[in-house]
Structure 1
């Protein structure tokens, strides 16, 4: 590729959305993805990795023509969010009705959205999709990261976009440091069918050992997320399916009902990370390569899609003005716009984690009081909910 083009490394949901956005504007882009997913079939049980999309993300996907291309039978609306602490009586409840909305957002499988975006990208004349890409190497040089493809040689793009995840080899090759933190917990995730079936409410419950959450999926299925210490996660992973289900039914609220079918399960560590800068030379970071937050509120993909939308708009403006895609003021403006938003959400999620998992002894009741106050907070409550939905 000549040095007028853009190379996006990583064709996950964020990288693929950025490629579609740029391609629809007629800006040449090449997308490199090592492990593209297979599109879920209509009769397939839900896959493990799911995301919550807020209304602003849905509007962005509508702009990209991705929203109507999704399989409606694999997208689940939610219209209520309930949060409570088992140590007290306080409850916080958000509903779509409070904002005059039909829904607060949707849950869908990551593979479903990623595969849909990649399919759209392949139809755009300005986009070249290599998925899977074979023999990609990332070299660290004095001038920054260099991309080399086996049999093709080094690439020379005007701009490299790192959309290659929290461990971002591109970020590391550029020598961009990051602030990191470990929550010392694992998320145990189970895709299940319950009786009664999941409805349209998503809830989070804080317990002394960690949060628990239910994410309603299409067709009455649900994703259960159980945050535990690493040793407990490992012990749960060693159980057979029946014993694991019994542990779920014992640990989760009685209202969950019975787990009739366990579709799948996994566990992974919970960490946070924020890059010390979002760009360097002709490299710019988006999504998890720039910021990783606690997954409790499901805001990670929403933040990443906001990154993609902001960066695409700035690149388009640079092209209109005849400036290079890696024009330093352009990339600096992107970081100024996105860092505060991402930092605020990361800090908020960290505060929630420690606020509800740190033993407070006789002060534990303060958490319950806080939830009750937030639940009756009027315009403050609506303002928080509006930010979660729209990011503004």
Structure 2
């Protein structure tokens, strides 16, 4: 591999976006993705892992030329959000119109977006796409990780972008530590067909067990998210489909209606993680390799795409100045831009988790009052919510 190239390890949504952004700028980049997803078929039910793209992310994907690669039939706009506490009367309600937006965002499957970005990358002359890639051996070295690709030998890129997820081997081999914690909950996620069909509203309700949420998907389907203890998550996963539907209909608000079918079910632990630094020597972190936030507000992919854009801009600036892609001044500038934003989002989501999962007791009315204040916050409400939805 040419040592002037940028190597992106991990072609997920964020890693693929970095590659497309660099490739469109004419910067040589190679992507290693071991398990590229098959693009969802038009008649296939929605897959389990989904994301909410805000307006800023949509604009970025349009600028990358990846948006047309998405199938409109698998996208679901949402224009309204409702949040409330089961133990109190306060509600937070807002619409796209309240924030001066055409829509609040779009829900889509992670596999769909990843496949669209990889397809776009494959059309760019500056991008070498290895998907599926041969096994990569990552070994600690004196000046950062040493990378050995099966059948090719050692790779010596100018810069390695670690887009290899929360359990990043590159981050660990670079000696970058993390702050991490466990929220003590699992998210049980199910793709369902509700009756009546899901519209363009997403809602979230806080309960003593944890939040419950409905995320509208294409064609009237929905993603249900139920935050529970690890033991309860195991029980819900082990249930028959009929028993699972009965449990959901009994526990969820009547706004849900009934469930006509369950297409997929799964669960995952809720954790938080933040790297102590975003780069070391010739390795730089993006997306989940750098930070993992509570999925409560669905902002993970949006802040990851902001990482991608910021890093690509700094690498391009290094090239304009005749500097190597890994020049410390550019990587430090990337971290200065992204860390505060990511830290704010993580801290906000942790505060929500603590505030709404603490024992109810005499403080339940305070939580409801807080939601009432937020709902009638006027200009401040609009400003805070616009930042959460748009990142600006």
The residue that corresponds to 1:168 in the other structure is: 168
Pair 1:352-2:352 in alignment = yes
Q: What 5-or-longer segments of structure 2 have no aligned partner? A: none
Residue 274 of structure 1 corresponds to 274
1:237 equivalent in structure 2:
237
User: What SS does the aligned partner of 2:93 have?
Assistant: strand
What TM-score do you get using the length of structure 1 for normalisation?
Answer: 0.99
Q: 3-state DSSP class of the match of 1:250?
A: helix
Please say which of residues 304-313 and 354-363 is displaced more in the overlay.
Answer: 354-363
* Partner-residue secondary structure (3-state), 2:325: coil
Aligned-partner Cα distance in 1 for 2:360–2:160: 47
Describe the superposition over 1:273-324 as per-residue Cα deviations: whole angstroms up to 9, x where unpaired.
0000000000000000000000010000000000000010111111111110
CA shift, 1:261, in A, is 1.1
Residue 305 (structure 1) aligns with: 305
Match of 1:47 in 2: 47
Which residue number corresponds to residue 128 of structure 1? Answer: 128
Alpha-carbon offset, residue 328 of structure 1: 0.2
How far has the Cα of 1:68 moved from its partner?
A: 1.8
Distance between the aligned counterparts of 1:360 and 1:238, measured in 2?
Answer: 29
- Within a 5 Å distance, the mapping from 1:172-211 to structure 2 comes to 172-211=172-211
Distance in 2, Cα, partners of 1:220 & 1:256: 12
Deviations 1:209-237 (A, max 9, x none): 10000000000000000000000001111
Paired position in structure 1 for 2:374: 374
Q: Mapping of 1:55-204 within 5 angstroms?
A: 55-204=55-204
Q: Does 1:220 align with 2:220?
A: yes
Residue 272 of structure 1 deviates from its aligned partner by 0.2
Q: Deviations over 1:352-391 (max 9, x none)?
A: 0010000141111100000000000001110111101221
Normalised to the residue count of structure 2, the TM-score between the two structures is 0.99
| Gap runs ≥5 in structure 1 | none
- How many residues are treated as equivalent by the alignment? 392
Match of 1:339 in 2: 339
Cα displacement string for residues 322-341 of structure 1 (whole angstroms, at most 9, x for unaligned residues): 11000001000100100000
Which residue number in structure 1 is paired with residue 251 of structure 2?
251
1:289 corresponds to: 289
Decide whether the 8 Å contact of 2:208 with 2:360 is kept in 1: no
State the SS of the aligned residue for 2:145: strand
Matched-pair contact (CA < 8 Å) for 2:57–2:302:
yes
SS in 1 for 2:205: strand
SS in structure 2 at match of 1:166: coil
Instruction: Give the conservation status (yes or no) of the 8 Å contact 2:205–2:211.
Output: yes
Q: Distance in 1 between matches of 2:289 and 2:297?
A: 19
CA distance in 2, matches of 1:231, 1:389: 33
Q: Distance in 2 between matches of 1:74 and 1:133?
A: 27
Counterpart in the other structure of 1:20: 20
Aligned residue for 2:140, secondary structure, equals strand
